[in-house]
Homo-oligomer: A and B are copies of this chain.
Amino acid sequence: MDKKTHKLAPGAPLVGGPISELSTPIPVIDEDRLENNITRVQSYMDKIGKTFRPHIKTHKIPAIAKRQVAAGAQGLNCQKVSEADVFADAGFQDILITFNILGAEKLEELAVLNERIGDLKVVADSTTTVSGLSGVFGGRDKALKVLVECDTGGGRCGVQSPAEAADLAVLISDCAGLTFGGLVTYPGADGEAETEAFLSGSIALLKARGIACGIVSSGGTPSLFNAHLVPSATEYRAGTYVYNDRAMARAGHCGLNDCAMEILTTVVSRPTQTRAVIDAGSKALTSDLLGFDDFGYVVDYPDATITGLSEEHGVLDLSKCDPDQRPQVGDRIRIIPNHTCVVSNLVDHMVFHKGGRVTRVEPVAARGHVW
């Protein structure tokens, strides 16, 4: 499908041009902040001696994943087979898909992918998932590595106790075509003590049955810098840290100045003294609140709040802004999104810049892989 492409003045090159001339609304990524986010987290992981596996959900861009690996990351984390296919195409060999894969079509795609790359791994948290995997991989030469997903407090997927984890690991070990690869958790916020207890308990039960855990993987950006409080984990996964967002700043993971993604918008209406309407609605910012009362942080007018979104409009309440310093129709304002990952999924290409000058435009290659 042809999409409208970015351009500046007719005939002018995009790369090297000012982001201030880009049509709005548009998310842009600050190269310096991006690089700082990558090196800061990798340095911490190196220091505490855990391997680091970036989750591609935030950027969905192979070039950024290559930079993460160049900085020291080992392998990638995807959430879907269709995403992993994109990164396999880009040459990545070590991919962990942290999702229960079910259904004939996806299982077949997973089998093809396992032949294509050196080190594919998935998770399972039920006998149904394990049975489906074994049904497809049982007759194949190359086994699939399966890790047991544990719910250590996050309240999403995962077995509920070390005993369940051990039982499922034994089942995987006994299944034709499957190899038990270790344990995975996506823990709750500030849940390091619970997570360590769950993981160390599971490891002990498995050791008693003579089964070693290869990888023990925890993850999540908000509590990333507490990863050293979970000594049983050998690996950490995170995605959002690469761009950061308003929610990560609130969580204390970073400052607002570490948010690499800003959405450039234009004020299109000033109907009243206290109301501004911008051209960024839910199609540019998404409706993710993540516990906030409004839909993003207005960098240039921190006293303004984005009180409502329709698809193409954002409504700002300016009542707390200095009456003499309020944005006018045509003014451009920058917004830090509540949640950066979901914004990446809205654009086919991402524009990067250094000091306000475009450095590159990357295809968001894994965008839109809904199923």
Which A residues form the contact surface with B (CB < 8 A)?
1, 3-4, 7-10, 21-26, 57, 79-80, 82, 85, 99-100, 102-106, 108, 125-126, 128-129, 132, 149, 151, 155-160, 266, 268-272, 275, 277, 279, 282-284, 286-289, 308, 310-313, 315, 328-330, 341-342, 345-348, 363, 365, 367-371
Contacts and interface: CB of A to CB of B under 8 A. Distances in A.
Nearest to A89: B2
A23 B106 contact: yes
A330 B282 contact: no
Nearest to A280: B370
A282 B342 CA distance: 8
A102 to B, nearest CB: 5
A252 B126 CA distance: 41
A329 B282 contact: no
A328 to B, nearest CB: 7
B79 A311 contact: yes
A219 to B, nearest CB: 12
Given A269-B158, A283-B345, A128 B329 contact: yes
A348 to B, nearest CB: 6
Given A102-B330, A126-B270, A370 B157 contact: no
A259 to B, nearest CB: 19
Given A277-B157, A368-B3, A371-B24, A311 B57 contact: yes
A151 B275 CA distance: 12
B156 A277 contact: yes
16 contacts: A24-B103, A26-B371, A57-B311, A79-B311, A100-B269, A100-B329, A102-B266, A103-B266, A129-B268, A155-B315, A157-B277, A157-B313, A160-B271, A283-B342, A283-B370, A287-B288
Contacts of A159: 271
A92 B329 CA distance: 31
Among all A-B residue pairs, the 7 with the closest Cβ atoms: A157-B269, A128-B329, A100-B268, A287-B287, A23-B371, A4-B82, A79-B312
Given A102-B266, A268-B99, A283-B370, A342 B108 contact: no
A7, A269, A329, A342: residue with the most chain B Cβ atoms closer than 10 Å: A269
Contact of A311 (B9, B341, B363): B341
A363 B1 CA distance: 8
B371 A313 contact: no
Contact of A80 (B103, B270, B312): B312
Given A57-B311, A126-B269, A282-B342, 15 more contacts: A1-B348, A4-B85, A21-B104, A102-B268, A128-B328, A155-B315, A156-B271, A156-B308, A156-B310, A157-B268, A287-B288, A287-B289, A311-B342, A346-B368, A348-B368
Contacts of A108: 10
Contacts of A132: 330
